[in-house]
Each structure stands twice: as C-alpha cells, then as structure tokens.
Amino acid sequence: MTQDQTNSLIEHGARRYIITITVVLCTLLELIDTTVVNVATSTLMGNLGATISEVSWVIAAYAIANVIVVPMSGFLSSFFGRKYYFAGSVAIFTAASLMCGLSGSIWTLVFWRFVQGIGGGALFATSQTILKEIYPPEKIGMAMAMFGMGVILGPTIGPFLGGYLVYNYSWPVIFYVNIPIGIVAVFLTLTYIRDNPFDKKQEAGIDWLGIILLIIGIGSLQLVLEQGERNDWFESQYIITFTLLAVGGIVGFIIRELTAENPIVDLRVLLKGNVAIATVMNFVLGFILFGSVFIYPIYMQRFLGFTAQMSGAMFIPGALLSGMLMPVVGGLLSKGTPPKYMIIGGFLTTSIFVFWSSFIFTTNTGTEAMYWPLLVRGLGMAFLFVPLSGLTLGGLNGKDVGQASGISNMIRQIGGSMSVAIIGVLNETLSAEHRANILDHVTPDNILVNERLNAMKAGLMSATADADKAAQQALAFLDYSINKQAAILSYIDIFHYLTVFILISIPLVLFAKTYKLNKDDLGGH
C-alpha cells in the first residue's frame, strides 16, 4: 500500500470523531452484553420457568458464538467489505436484542442470544481495525486507547447496569436498551464509515472446511469451559464428548489453516512481528482480567451480603481510572515509548493488586479494604490493554492486521473463559481441603470449640426456650463458619497462584521486537 493510498483512508475533523464514537460505543455495547445477563439469572428462572442449568445456556450461547466469529472477522470483513460487514453486524446484534427481549421461553432466548453473539463478535473485532485505519500513525496510540476504554468499561458496567435495570424495570429491558443505540449506529456506519478501496475482495472460494472445523473446535472448547463445572466436568459423558470434539476440531483446524491457499484464519500471521508473543500475553490478560472479576463478586455477595448491583459498583472507580489513563498511555505510545516496557509495568502493577487481595479477604472485610486494591487493578489494566494492542499490530499491514487482531482477541476471550473454569475447580477443591483441615481441629474435646458452641447456644436460648433447637442452630452456624473460612482460605490460595502466574509470564515480553509507528503500518483489517 502506498503512502498516498494509506493517507486516503485517514479521516479528519468531525467525521473522525463520529466514526470513533460509533465504533467505541458498539464495542462497549457488545462487551456489556457479555456480563449483563449474569445478574438476571434468578429473574429468568422465575419468569421463564427455567432451571439454573437451562439459564446458564443464555450466557454460554452468547460466549460460544462470540468466540467463533471473532477470528473470522478479518476474512468476512474483506469478503463483504468493511462498511457493510460492520453495519450488518450492528443490525444483527440490534435485531437479536429485540428478539431476546420478546422471547417467551428459555430456549427461544438461548437461540437469539447465539444470534446476538454472532453480531457482537464481529463488532468487537472490526472496531479495532476501523480505528487503526482512520487515524494517522502518530495518533494510533490514542485511537487504541479509546478502544481500550470500551473493553475495560464494558464488562465492569455490565453487572451494575443489569442489576439496576432488572431491579427497577424488568429483564427484557437489559436487551431493549441496545435497540436505539444500534439503530443510530447502523445509520452512522452507512453514512460515515468507508470501505478500504485498496482492499482486495476475496475472489477465491470460501474455506468452508476451515469454518466447520473452527465452529466444532473453538465452539466445543467454549462450551466445555462454560458448562464443565455445572456438569461435574469429566464425570459427565456430555463434557467428555465435547472435549474430544474440541481437541479434534482444533487440531484439524490448525492443519487446515496452515495448508489452505485461502484460509479463513491465517495462522501464519503468528510468525510475523510480535503476534505470537502478544497473543500469549493477551491470554494472560484475559485470564487475570476475568479471574479477578470472578472472585470478588462471589466473595462480596456470598459473605458480605452485597447485591449484584452493589458488587458491580465496586469495580466502577477502577474502571474509570483505567479509562482516564488510557489516553495518557496512548499518548506515550504515539511518542515512541516501546509498548513492552509499559506491558511489564502493567503486569507488575496487576500482580501487586492480586497479591494485595490475598491479605484483605477475611471473614469481616469491609468495603473500604477492597476499594484501593481495585483502584490498583484499574491502574494496571490501563497500562496493559493499549500497549498489548500496539504490540500485536506493530509492524503489520494489510490483511495481517485483521487476522492478528482476530486471533489475539479470540485468545483473550478463551483465556477469560479458562480462568473462570479453572478458578471454579480450584475453589471447590481447595475449599474441600481447607474444610477437612479445619474439621481436624473441631473435635468434641476441643475446649475452644465447646466454649463457642455453648456461647452460641446460650445466645439462641434467649430467643427460644427449646434447648434442642438452639443446639441444632448453633451447630448449623458453626458449620457455616467453617465453610466460610474454608472458602476464604481457598480464595487466598488462588490469589497466590495468580500472582505467580503473572510474574512467570512477564519475562516473555522482553523478547518482543520494537517497532516504530510509520505510515506503512496502517491499513488492512
């Protein structure tokens, strides 16, 4: 691509700002919808007569569709044209949001959530590329910062917004809020976003085998990660079957994409620039980002009595801090600061947050104790997402940009899903171990245990004259206390493991090459 061709893609003035707001808002909507349903599960069970297992598919269907579409977005954007692919994706997302709200049964809702995930996955992957095209090289860092704000704020706002809307209105409203924004976004996309005129449209046949293998492999993997814990993992023939499909599909997909003349996902881009290193670090980012978000709400709601809305609100100050700092980080990148050094700083800061968390989780932690660590988390995230985008896309051009972006975003999502799955298993296993250790000391001849039981029994006797009932209630309360302590000890262990995981990942960044922003880096998908 020549310099004149590259320059022709750059937008200026109000047009650039309109496009920026459009794509960032679409990204924000897409990521909000990954978590907004989580707080409505009880309501959905009551209104649609569904079980918890059935409701879990409302969440899983979106995630599965999302992770399938993301890596294909580079190819599909070229095939349909950037403008119409993005507008079509917004339209699919918006229409599916309407149908989700109108769903009268749980499985109808699951179907439309899958369709919504197809549209949403394309929004996330394509927005980043559009921003990279319309900004001059010296301002690309700032463009990625604005994109990163949506990425960080979306999953944070989702639970809070979902809790507020469900509590004050009704569950369909969590989907209906997408509709007016989606309609406006379609209009603005068709009016202002331009196709890349130098993009070579796909003339060869579509890699249908690659698509099928991708759907089987990545779709099955995401399904296993989403549903494994609810189905006792490998105790379930259902999970075993889909695990085998995931392994076979992924292996087949890799072989196909490395040998196909026109692959749906060009895995060879991993050999270019810093894509391989950046992809691994994106996995770590997804793992830590979703893992920490997973533990805190469980602790706050289970042991501190927080509502979903209250626990979601605790993350907002840190997310806002990330949002405010991202333009600063983008400015540093634009001035030539190597992204790898900011990534190292971001991961070190995040490791401080994780390790700090292991000290504040107690049986009587207050909200003020969690406030500062979550702010540190926000600080760390600000120095991770934007530099990682720069590390991923640095030195690439043309279609390689879209391919690299799609692969990295897919891996980050898989990292997040694996984090939730692994932490869930660890929490269950470690809690059982800690409970057993505690029970070893809770014996009939333990004076302290007897004193506590007698004190609780005496206190309960003041409310009821039934001594046997008071004794049973005292034992039940003791059992609850043991379970609570065991769970908290398991959280502490998990935070220690996450800290080590972050620290051993950091040295990989040192192997990254340094690329300066130049005009030839622009373009592509």
Give the pLDDT confidence of 347-381 residue by residue, as tens digits: 999 999 999 988 888 777 777 788 889 899 889 98
Identify which of 63, 26, 311 has the alpha carbon closest to the alpha carbon of residue 164.
311
CB 185 within 8 A of CB 27: no
Apex CA 261: angle with CA 260 and CA 262, to 5°? Answer: 90
* Cα distance between residue 100 and residue 112, in whole Å: 6
Give yes or no for residue 273 having a pLDDT over 50: yes
* Cα distance between residue 187 and residue 182, in whole Å: 9
Q: Give CATH for domain 3-206+264-430+492-521.
A: 1.20.1250.20
Question: Residue 3: what pLDDT?
Answer: 46
Question: Residue 257: what pLDDT?
Answer: 85
Give the pLDDT confidence of 473-509 residue by residue, as tens digits: 767 777 777 888 888 899 899 999 999 999 999 999 8
Question: Residue 124: what pLDDT?
Answer: 73
* Cα distance between residue 523 and residue 452, in whole Å: 69
Query: CB-side exposure of 401: number of CA atoms within 13 Å?
Result: 25
Give the pLDDT confidence of 299-336 residue by residue, as tens digits: 887 778 777 677 778 888 888 888 788 888 878 887 77
Highest mean pLDDT among 28-37, 189-198, 262-271, 391-400: 262-271
Which alpha helices (H) appear in 103-233, and where do they start and end?
Answer: 106-134, 140-168, 173-176, 178-192, 208-227
At residue 243, what is the residue type?
Answer: T
Q: In what helix (H) or strand (E) does residue 334 lie, and over which residues does it extend?
A: helix 308-334
* Cα distance between residue 439 and residue 482, in whole Å: 8
Owner of token pair 């009821």: 464
* Cα distance between residue 511 and residue 275, in whole Å: 12
Give the pLDDT confidence of 424-483 residue by residue, as tens digits: 888 888 988 988 888 877 766 666 666 666 666 666 666 665 666 666 776 777 777 788
At residue 259, what is the residue type?
Answer: T
Identify which of 380, 315, 373 has the alpha carbon closest to the alpha carbon of residue 344.
380
Give the pLDDT confidence of 213-272 residue by residue, as tens digits: 988 988 888 788 877 777 777 788 888 998 999 999 999 989 988 888 778 888 888 888
Apex CA 282: angle with CA 356 and CA 35, to 5°? Answer: 75
Counting DSSP H helices and E strands in the chain, the numbers are 20, 0
Map out the domains of the chain as residue ranges.
3-206+264-430+492-521
Question: Residue 122: what pLDDT?
Answer: 80
Q: Which residues contact 343 (CB under 8 A, 6 or more apart)?
A: 281, 383, 384, 387, 388, 391, 509
In this prediction, residue 97 has a pLDDT band, given cuts at 50, 70 and 90, of: very high
* Cα distance between residue 243 and residue 474, in whole Å: 45
The secondary structure of 502-514 as a DSSP string is HHHHGGGGGGPPP
Average pLDDT, the chain: 80
